[in-house]
Amino acid sequence: MASTAPDPVHRRGPEAVSSQPQCCECAHLPARLPPGSPPQIRLEPKSEAIPVPTDSKAPARITFRDAVGGELMRSPLEILQINVGKLCNQTCVHCHVNAGPNRSEQMTEEAAEAALGVLDRFPTLTTVDVTGGAPEMSPWFRRIVTEARKRDLTVIDRCNLTILLQPGHEDLAQFLADQRVTVVASLPCYSKENVDAQRGDGVFQASIEALRLLNSLGYGRDGERHLDLVFNPVGASLPPAQGPLEAAYKEQLAEHFDITFDHLYTITNMIIARFESFLRRTGELEGYERLLEGSFNPATIPQLMCRNTLSVSWDGYVYDCDFNQMLDLRLENGSALRVGDVTPELWDSLGIITGRHCFGCTAGAGSSCSGALT
């Protein structure tokens, strides 16, 4: 059991250090837009982006724990996030673990069944969030969805859109619609050139086609089938305000492509893996770290997703969040825990593993797999 909490939100405990990146999820990756994008399709209102500070006399660095005033406390578990593996139909140039058609890391039946055990052990659970790779390529994807929906849980599919058009997946969109699965898809720009440069030739057109297919099935239109899009900044800046950007996305996608969707999530680029390498290459690492630290917003803390989320990897280990999973910061109780070992009592007793990367969640309006926090 962690030490005594100073208040309902914080408690004291050790901070962890990061190690190796582990998994890939489109929504967490930095968009790379080449210069010269047409103004009417540029999605990042540059005037709203907060620039990286260049003042070498910036204040001394603080730890995340000191900023928070202690260790984060858990609230009841509401979200089970399952990363089913690294198999993907795309091979995006920015994919920091090189997910692709030849990756063999896939959730086993044993690990999938162990993850499903959480559905009945945690009565406070409301949502199952499935990610990858392309999660729909897992042989266990549909079983996970149907078991969760049988229990009337919300299911989120982190979808790359193009999988909906792939041979062998012709019935996938209808399956998602029938199950009322919420589709969350990364669409970093309206521009064919920018999207194809980041995600591969032909991805933009396929994404538009897939969004139209989803719209035709009621997604983003009927109030029952939710379609959400994800945006993250081009580089070392905080995302612009989520509300106005969502309005701009809606206007542009409707006008140019007759596409509608429900919500836009803005997500802060985390200093993890490939984006960290990018910052080192461009000499922006320290400035971006200081930007995140200097933008620390205590109002985000009650909403941090690690407080109510259990994150499971393709090989059945458990983490506080998808970011900790990328950093291989496994939850332990003497030894690394597997999902089948986790009970509500044990989960509540484990301290949340935090580190300097956590400033990415608390900067500005905050950031999570569901966008801004405040």
The region of 24-32, 53-61, 229-237, 278-286 touching ligand SF4 under the rule CB under 6 A is 24-32
Q: With b meaning 16 or more CB within 10 Å and e meaning fewer, what string describes 188-210?
A: bbbbbebbbbbbbeebbebbbeb
Task: Report the chain's C-alpha Rg in angstroms.
Answer: 20
What angle in degrees, to the nearest 10, is found between the helix axes of 109-121 and 141-150?
10
Distance between CA atoms of residues 16 and 120, nearest Å: 31
- Residue 63 is a binding residue for ligand SF4 (CB under 6 A): no
Residue 307 token pair: 């407080």
The region of 42-50, 126-134, 235-243, 286-294 touching ligand SF4 under the rule CB under 6 A is 126-134
- Residue 134 is a binding residue for ligand SF4 (CB under 6 A): yes
Distance between CA atoms of residues 80 and 78, nearest Å: 7
Q: Least distance in Å: CB of 75 to ligand SF4?
A: 12
Task: Identify the residue whose tokens are 């910036």.
Answer: 58
Distance between CA atoms of residues 340 and 301, nearest Å: 28
Q: Looking only at residues 192 through 251 of this chain, which bind ligand SF4 when binding is defined by CB under 6 A?
A: 199
Interface pick for ligand SF4 out of 214, 271, 306, 318 (rule CB under 6 A): 306
Residue 168 token pair: 């062998």
Interface pick for ligand SF4 out of 164, 173, 312, 321 (rule CB under 6 A): 321
Interface pick for ligand SF4 out of 24, 114, 116, 363 (rule CB under 6 A): 24
- Residue 326 is a binding residue for ligand SF4 (CB under 6 A): no
- Residue 77 is a binding residue for ligand SF4 (CB under 6 A): no
- Residue 323 is a binding residue for ligand SF4 (CB under 6 A): yes
**Which contacts of 247-256 are long-range, i.e. CB under 8 A and separated by 24 or more positions?**
248/43, 248/45, 249/43, 252/40, 252/41, 252/43, 252/190, 253/190, 253/211, 256/41, 256/190
Residue number with CB closer to ligand SF4 (2 or 248):
2
- Residue 304 is a binding residue for ligand SF4 (CB under 6 A): yes
Q: Looking only at residues 327 through 356 of this chain, which bind ligand SF4 when binding is defined by CB under 6 A?
A: 352, 354
- Residue 358 is a binding residue for ligand SF4 (CB under 6 A): yes
Residue number with CB closer to ligand SF4 (147 or 320):
320
3-state secondary structure of 216: helix
3-state secondary structure of 371: strand
How many residues line the site for ligand SF4 (CB under 6 A)?
A: 27
Interface pick for ligand SF4 out of 9, 11, 16, 29 (rule CB under 6 A): 29
CA distances from 134 to 85, 157, 234 (A): 8, 9, 23
Interface pick for ligand SF4 out of 164, 279, 357, 373 (rule CB under 6 A): 357
Interface pick for ligand SF4 out of 106, 160, 232, 237 (rule CB under 6 A): 160
User: What is the distance of C-alpha 101 from the center of its chain?
Assistant: 21
List residues binding ligand SF4 (CB under 6 A).
24, 26, 29, 88, 90-92, 95, 99-100, 132-134, 160, 199, 304-306, 320-321, 323-324, 352, 354, 357-358, 361
